Amino acid sequence: MDCSHALSLYIKRFAVIDSTNAYARRNASALWAAAGAARGVVVYADEQTAGRGQRGNVWQSAAGENLLVTIMVRPASLPVVSQFALSQVIALAVREAVSKFGIEASLKWPNDIYVGNRKLAGILVELDYSGPLVEQAVIGVGLNVNQSAFAPMDKVPVSMKMLQGSTFDVENVLSALLDTFAHYYSLLCSGEYDVLAAEYKKHLLGYDCVMRYRDAVSEFDAVIADVEGSGHLVLKRVSGTLSRYAFKEVELLL
């Protein structure tokens, strides 16, 4: 891969858009053509009318108050079996970016950002493949920055403003995120998957303690034994039994 630390980016901003991920995917060819020699494309907007999250959920965001951004990259030579490294890159990047503003967050498998039991950011990673390799990644981030009132939802949200009691410049937050993304993406480009995995686990809820989970059969207590390169979660139940889950097959109960 190209392992240059400096990640050159082509940035396109919108006042209103349906979804930054959807726009990036349907206009990928034109965006890459406009990007020229840039190694990544950034699409961000002040407002989304059809924002999406994991599991097909709607992502709620008040106009102009939050960071709504998609980063599109082509990680040459990334094997499909190691695809979860991209989720680790963006999750770690968001966590470190908010830490620059005094907020210490944790990661919730696969790639949500939490402070305590409240969700600060959601991430949606969509991949295109070419045989055994990842051809393109479209990485969407919805980070609650200044919004302080949310409609009722299952996962109780929180924002940077609610945590810190002050208003943030959304573009400064974006700049911090692009810097931290460039750092972690350089590790992926260098093939340092073990480094990414270790750092991811360091901040992962449930990796070093027993927590409550629910799958299609029951609720149970377990500790995270591993997160595989494919993204599968391996839980060790208090009985000692190991259980392996794909996305959507198990939920951490906070």
pLDDT at 54 > cutoff 50? no
pLDDT at 40 > cutoff 80? yes
Mean of pLDDT values over 69-86:
95
Cα separation, 96 vs 62, whole angstroms: 24
pLDDT score of 76: 83
* Higher-scoring residue by pLDDT: 7, 143: 143
Q: Which alpha helices (DSSP H) does 165-240 contain, by range?
A: 170-189, 193-202
pLDDT at 150 > cutoff 90? no
The per-residue pLDDT for range 107-132, each reduced to its tens digit, is 999 999 999 999 999 999 999 999 99
Block residue for tokens 């974006």: 174
Q: Do residues 123 and 90 touch, judged by C-beta distance below 8 A?
A: yes
pLDDT score of 208: 87
pLDDT at 60 > cutoff 80? no
The per-residue pLDDT for range 194-240, each reduced to its tens digit, is 999 999 999 999 998 999 999 999 999 999 999 999 999 999 999 99
The residue type at 195: V
Mean pLDDT of the chain: 92
pLDDT score of 250: 97
3-class SS at 32? Answer: helix
Question: Measured at the alpha carbon of residue 74, what is the angle toward residues 145 and 132, in degrees to the nearest 5?
Answer: 120
